[in-house]
Amino acid sequence: MARRAVKPPAPFEVIPAIDLLGGRCVRLSQGRYEEATIYGEDPAAVAGDFARHPIARLHVVDLDGAKAGRPINGEAVRGILARAAGVPVQLGGGVRSLDAVEEALAWGLDRVILGTVALRDPELVRTASQRHPGRIVVGIDAKEGHVAVEGWLETSETRAVELAPRFEAAGVGAIVYTDIARDGMLSGPNLDATAELADAVSIPVIVSGGVASEDDLVRAAALRDRGITGAIVGRALYTGAVELGSVLERVACC
């Protein structure tokens, strides 16, 4: 499918990720909860460290909420917001009703990510987007190209590249595309699949999963004209494989 004409690419966003499990900052490998690595007992302090850099936003995932089907780590999220120094924060994980959307935005979040309900209840996504234009993000997580839901515990028959265009006219702010096989593995993001999805829509697409180096982010930034407007990076920041200040300078020059 040919991608619709869009305005010139905006500056590429490098988006640090904070995943919450039991109130702690963790990273998973390929979405496996039993393989969580704890990187911080105080997610708010982690957010404060990231916010000292000129980042466009923070990406926060409530992993407990993704499994439970409702937000669980609200206290930790509010702590992150308090320490983020005005940096916009987007939240995903367990937000599956309009009431949950309204509550999360009332905390002061910039955007809310809807994942499972994008497949199960697309009308909810459209309604939320109409109420809050540009503040609803669709999260599409895929295993071998097929959409995974319920905290990545179930895989559907629907292909990611088929789901994304359903929200073309909904008014969503962005699509976050995650290749689960790459997530937390430091094996490089799946830029080919992400670009294929971005080609199918005019909605900005953010790549997630597998960033291992600054070069990965530079390669992603080079695809801005295909509609890839940002990349989420997690484990590579925590291990030191990516230095945030350095990579922000590099992608600014792309």
Residues involved in catalysis: 19, 141
Q: Helices in the chain by DSSP H: which ranges?
A: 43-51, 63-68, 74-83, 98-106, 116-120, 122-131, 160-163, 191-199, 214-221, 235-239, 244-252
**Residue 101: which of 79, 134, 129, 122 has the closest Cα?**
129
Residue 239 CB neighbours (<10 A): 13
**Residue 204: which of 30, 19, 8, 32 has the closest Cα?**
8
Residue 8 tokens read as 């010139």
Residue 148 CB neighbours (<10 A): 22
DSSP 199-252: HT-SS-EEEES---SHHHHHHHHTTGGGTEEEEEE-HHHHHTSS-HHHHHHHHH
